[in-house]
Amino acid sequence: MIFSFGSASLARRLAAVLFLALVPALPALCQQQAADATPGIIPKDRLKETWWAERHQAVLEAVQAHPDTQLLMIGDSITNNYDKSKLPDENFQPTWQQFYAPRKALNLGFSGDTTANVLWRLDHGEVEGLHPKAAVLLIGTNNTGVGNETAEQTEAGIDAVIGDLEDRLPETRILLLGILPSELSASKTERDTAVNRYLATCYGDNPRVTYLDIGSIYFKNGALNTPIFYDPRLPWHPKALHPDTEGQHMMAEAIEPTLAKLMGDAPRMPLTAMSDINTAVIPVPRLEQDSYDWYGRHHAELAQQKGMDPQVVLIGDSITHFWGGLPNANHVNGPTAWQKAFGGMSVLNLGFGWDRTQNVLWRLRQGEFEGLHPKWVVVNIGTNNLTGTSNARASTPEEIVEGVAAICSEVHERSPESHILLMGIFPRGPRADSPLRASIEETNRLLAQRFAVDSTVTWLDIDAKFLAPDGTLPAALMLPDFTHPSDAGYQIWADALIQAGVKP
């Protein structure tokens, strides 16, 4: 069995591979002890359950009948549910027919399965002879749920499944989904969160595996949105675990842009129509090609912060990126203002050109703020969310606020003692009626409303300082695109940061 090793887990994954290879040669008692220690990586069948055995046989027949299968959907009951068409809460076939059937998809979801069961099914022919373009893997919730496995045991099980798929399907791109949120128990949620954080780090740069955590789409006002789970409406009223008809369709929308790229085809639904989900809170890597190497800068950031103890960390897009500081940008627009604001201070610049809130969330979960405890974190993000392209739809002001709030939460989770200085979105366009002005004003109004009572965040809107009395944006303060400040424009930002107390 061949595994691809992520830098964050090389030793652990190698140990799991060797351990799994040795298990068949162990005496029966030792095999049982091994299974007890790492249940998620030991293939295990459920053939005593008639329906499970019959479904496995049906899958084998489908594999034989459809050697041209282009997409595999692998998982547990949440994936198995696509077979259902029960109105109103479990009507998942329309979603399957819209997003997956046209791609010649095969459903390898089995209710109640853990990683151990998936491994057994892979060992017994469920992908034999297939050469799909992509495989979507959603597994692990039963490991931490009914299986009561630890986060580490579940991570090892998911690693084992990924490694097995990479070995059996060397030409297939894998879309690995994070464990979806549930309300089964606080301890399960804690374990699921740990698993997802591990997966984000482990598979962030894997060329064969794309990791996507869409859990944020199931939250509303900071709490799990239980009405889009069908479990509580069942006669015995279990807690929320399975998305209902609406929730499952939201999941399909959330993964569709990424899946379409992996499949090499067009999205099954226009990006502009995917309004049921807030893409601003779904962490994704680079979306737009820009004038620099996005991934190269990401690795430069990780290298730069090693051994660094910055007093200030800046987080943002190109406006932050091209101000100055380390790591060096390919061009700098505000050197004088940078010296004024930060001269003599240790500052890390986490600004990336063309970034949206969802890109910042991906970078934070990939380690760009790990181990840092600056006094100040200056966040200036959101302007690119207002612009739609063929790679991402434009976000609404309300969605941008949620994306910014998620970023602040990620920062505080890693460094609760840091004080966040949240900037309002800078004005764009030369005139008061320029296309994005109204959206920027509304976004800033909502941000001010959201963070006015947050003692850990200082809201700082300097929009008016850039503008003339008639609302025009003076050319001297901006580059010709009327989006990026000139050195004179950065001076306004520098003065505001100094007045806020960022510079001692």
Q: Is the pLDDT of residue 229 over 50?
A: yes
Query: What's the rounded Cα separation, in Å, for the pair 158 and 147?
Result: 14
Confidence bin at 9 (pLDDT 50/70/90): very low
Strands (E) in 381-450, as ranges, are 419-423
Q: Is 486 exposed, middle or buried (0-12, 13-18, 19+ CB in 10 A)?
A: middle
Residues 244 and 332 in one domain: no
* Chosen domain end from 277, 304, 330: 277
- Establish if 128 belongs to a structural domain: yes
pLDDT of residue 7: 41
Average pLDDT over residues 24-45: 68
Residues 52 and 198 in one domain: yes
Check if 237 is active-site. Answer: no
Q: Is the pLDDT of residue 5 over 80?
A: no
pLDDT of residue 464: 95
Q: Is the pLDDT of residue 420 over 70?
A: yes
Average pLDDT over residues 211-234: 96
Q: 323: domain CATH number?
A: 3.40.50.1110
Residues 304 and 248 in one domain: no
Percent of the chain surpassing pLDDT 70: 93
Confidence bin at 407 (pLDDT 50/70/90): very high
- Establish if 404 belongs to a structural domain: yes
Catalytic residue among 182, 216, 318, 395: 318
Q: What is the pLDDT of residues 74-125, one digit of tens each?
A: 999 999 999 999 999 999 999 999 999 999 999 999 999 999 999 999 999 9
* Chosen domain end from 250, 277, 304: 277
Residues 56 and 195 in one domain: yes
Residues 486 and 374 in one domain: yes
The residue among 89, 82, 192 whose CA lies nearest residue 139 is 192
pLDDT of residue 342: 97
Residues 93 and 53 in one domain: yes
Catalytic residue among 56, 244, 484, 487: 484
* Domain span at 464: 294-500
Q: Is the pLDDT of residue 247 over 80?
A: yes
Rounded to the nearest integer, the mean pLDDT of the chain is 93
How wide is the angle at C-alpha 398 spanned by C-alphas 396 and 403, nearest 5°?
95
Confidence bin at 16 (pLDDT 50/70/90): low
pLDDT of residue 15: 53
- Establish if 285 belongs to a structural domain: no
pLDDT of residue 32: 52
Q: Is the pLDDT of residue 6 over 60?
A: no
Average pLDDT over residues 450-476: 94
pLDDT of residue 206: 84
Residues 138 and 77 in one domain: yes
Query: What's the rounded Cα separation, in Å, for the pair 217 and 247?
Result: 9
- Establish if 4 belongs to a structural domain: no
* Chosen domain end from 277, 305, 331: 277
Residues 273 and 300 in one domain: no
Check if 481 is active-site. Answer: yes
- Establish if 289 belongs to a structural domain: no
Check if 484 is active-site. Answer: yes
Catalytic residue among 36, 433, 470, 481: 481
Residues 263 and 303 in one domain: no
- As for how many domains the chain has, the answer is 2
Residues 444 and 479 in one domain: yes
Residues 200 and 331 in one domain: no
pTM, two decimals, is 0.89
Residues 334 and 403 in one domain: yes
- Establish if 179 belongs to a structural domain: yes
pLDDT of residue 239: 97
Average pLDDT over residues 275-288: 95
- Establish if 1 belongs to a structural domain: no
